[in-house]
Amino acid sequence: MSDQAIHAAGEIRAEIRLPTRALADDIPFFTGTLGMRMEMIFPADDPRVAVFSGHGVRLRVEQGAAEPPGTLRLLVENPGALVQDGHALMAPNGTRIEVEALHPPLAMPETVHEFAVRRLSDSAPWVIGRAGMHYRDLVPSRLGGSMIASHIRIPDGGPVPDMVHYHTVGFQLIFCYRGWVDLVYEDQGEPFRLHAGNCVIQPPEIRHRVLYASDNIEVIEIGVPAEHITTIDHAMTLPNGPANPDRRFQGQRFVHHRAEDAVWQPFHIPGFISRDTTIGENTQGVAGVHVVRRGEGPVPRVRHQGDILFTFVMAGAMRLEAEGEAPVDLGPGDAFTIPPGMAVRYAQPSDDIELLEVALPAGFDTEVLEG
């Protein structure tokens, strides 16, 4: 059905039809137990159909209807007020009423640590995801569901068919790898352009929208946990105002890190330097993000004691030597995860090596080993 046809049709109401054998038993359940409003009932002398509305739905309960009773999910701020011994009610007509929390706590799975390497040459499939963007999975195991790392590209530039939305996450990073993209964020003022080498974090539930992308834009996106909900916000218009850049979203402050403003400092692995994106500080230690280059001196074996340590090779080449594993030669587009306690060496780094490292938490110990 076209938009033109819908407009010409005038007012439209949608109803979900449910069957019943005894409508008189269902009326007090839907109006009393569920607190819905009865909008219609007929015929008057022997009712066989009643329409109820409430909680965002309109139900037509019809005697003799052929459909199965189905399931109605109610998202409730205080589920215990409706159900005392479980999470479901049963309507007289057989419809199952599931009662769940309106704002469930974010589930953070325990990390299943893994030494994993994902190379661009492995020809991992690109999957078309939200808003027509192409996704390449950089950590297929998702470390037990604790994180997702995606290499995302938009081959053809121009306006992006995106809507104002937000993510229910613990941490989310967008690093612009190639090209540029125009973005707008809640309480952060006017839209801005995210250039290659720069990044933003999207604090939990900050409203945002992707507006416009260059040809062949590529970004690296990290999300914690791996599976999280994206919610469309049809009410908010961005930009909103006035700007409030110091606002914290569940303890995290929005960050737009620009490479030109960064200071290069010694990295936690000798032989390298890095620019700190200040994400560790602005997430109160939830995650740290560094861009890493070759420094001076030898590169020793090291062992970290963090939780999640993910690295993406943006430029140059290196050989990853991990204890108990065959050495792996890496180049641009490759990614790897290092579990805590594993001795590794970033051997033979080229002069133009550039790495993106994401660590959770931001602060962790690195032990420098002999040899």
Residue 294's Cβ-side half-sphere holds a number of Cα atoms within 13 Å equal to 15
Q: Which of 176, 117, 120, 109 is nearest to 145 (CA)?
A: 109
Q: What is the CATH number of domain 261-368?
A: 2.60.120.10
pLDDT tens sequence across 265-293? 999 999 999 998 999 999 999 999 999 99
pLDDT exceeds 80 at position 85: no
Confidence (pLDDT) at 8: 82
pLDDT tens sequence across 139-196? 999 999 999 999 999 888 899 889 999 999 999 999 999 999 999 999 999 999 999 9
Confidence (pLDDT) at 3: 74
Confidence (pLDDT) at 9: 81
**Where is average pLDDT lowest: 73-82, 106-115, 123-132?**
123-132
| 2-30 average pLDDT score | 90
Which residues, including other chains, have CB under 8 Å from residue 59's CB and lie 6 or more apart? 15, 16, 17, 18, 30, 36, 51, 52, 53, 72
Between these two residues, 133 and 19, which has the higher pLDDT value?
19
The CA–CA distances, whole Å, from 113 to 31, 147, 164, 189, 290 equal: 51, 11, 34, 39, 21
pLDDT exceeds 70 at position 7: yes
Cβ–Cβ under 8 Å, residues 318 and 332:
no
| DSSP at 31 | I
pLDDT tens sequence across 43-78? 989 999 999 999 999 999 999 999 999 999 999 998
Residue 198's Cβ-side half-sphere holds a number of Cα atoms within 13 Å equal to 18
Confidence (pLDDT) at 249: 97
Rounded CA-CA distance 37/54 in Å is 6
- Which listed CATH number (2.60.120.10, 2.60.120.260, 1.20.1630.10, 3.40.50.2000) goes with 122-255? 2.60.120.10
pLDDT range class, residue 353, cuts 50, 70, 90: very high
Rounded CA-CA distance 168/245 in Å is 20
Domains 122-255 and 261-368 share a fold: yes
Confidence (pLDDT) at 118: 96
How high does pLDDT run on average in the chain?
Answer: 94
Cβ–Cβ under 8 Å, residues 87 and 101:
no
Confidence (pLDDT) at 241: 84
| DSSP at 57 | E
pLDDT tens sequence across 328-346? 999 999 999 999 999 999 9
pLDDT exceeds 80 at position 2: no
Confidence (pLDDT) at 371: 59
Let me know how many helices (H) and strands (E) the chain has, helices first.
3, 34
Q: Which of 29, 12, 7 is nearest to 20 (CA)?
A: 29
Confidence (pLDDT) at 125: 78
Q: Which amino acid is at 106?
A: L
pLDDT exceeds 80 at position 294: yes
pLDDT exceeds 70 at position 130: no
**Residue extents of the structural domains in the chain:** 3-101, 122-255, 261-368
pLDDT range class, residue 84, cuts 50, 70, 90: confident
pLDDT tens sequence across 94-107? 999 999 988 888 88
- Tell me whether strands 248-249 and 252-253 are parallel, antiparallel or unpaired: antiparallel
The CATH superfamily holding the domain 3-101 is 2,3-Dihydroxybiphenyl 1,2-Dioxygenase, domain 1 (3.10.180.10)
pLDDT exceeds 70 at position 1: no
Confidence (pLDDT) at 209: 96
Confidence (pLDDT) at 80: 84
Confidence (pLDDT) at 342: 98
Confidence (pLDDT) at 131: 64
Rounded CA-CA distance 5/306 in Å is 58
Confidence (pLDDT) at 189: 96
Confidence (pLDDT) at 291: 98
